[in-house]
Amino acid sequence: MDSIGLIREFLNDRLGVEPEKVTPQASLADLGVDSLMMLELMFEFEDRFAIKLASDLKTPQTVGEMVSLMDGLIADQKS
């Protein structure tokens, strides 16, 4: 599963957000993601991709920012 797929699945399972609404330009807050939900999403990401996130990461505001963050960390792990 890729990053946007994980985000779509997570938001659909937890908040009932239709996958087609989870687009790169969509605001995470507008999709119902609060600070607690953001932490849960980050933990899910860590578990799925076996990556440890730094505690000082900038909180993404959009789905696209979240995908970029996740994809960058996955790429760093592979190199």
Mean pLDDT, range 39-62, rounded to an integer: 87
Sorted by where each begins, the domain ranges of the chain are 3-70
Residue 7 has pLDDT above 90, yes or no: yes
Any residues with CB less than 8 A from the CB of 1 and at least 6 apart, and which? 9, 48
Using an 8 Å Cβ cutoff, are 69 and 60 in contact?
yes
User: Quick check: 1 pLDDT over 80?
Assistant: no
Instruction: With a cut of 80, say whether residue 8 has pLDDT above it.
Output: yes
In this structure, which long-range contacts are made by residues 11-14, counting pairs with CB atoms below 8 Å and at least 24 apart in sequence? 14/40
What pLDDT does 37 receive? 93
Rounded to an integer, what is the distance from CA 43 to the centroid of its chain? 9
CATH code of domain 3-70: 1.10.1200.10
- Structure tokens, 64: 């696209």
Helices marked H in 29-62 — which ranges? 35-49
pLDDT digit string, tens, across residues 51-73? 888 778 888 999 999 999 888 88
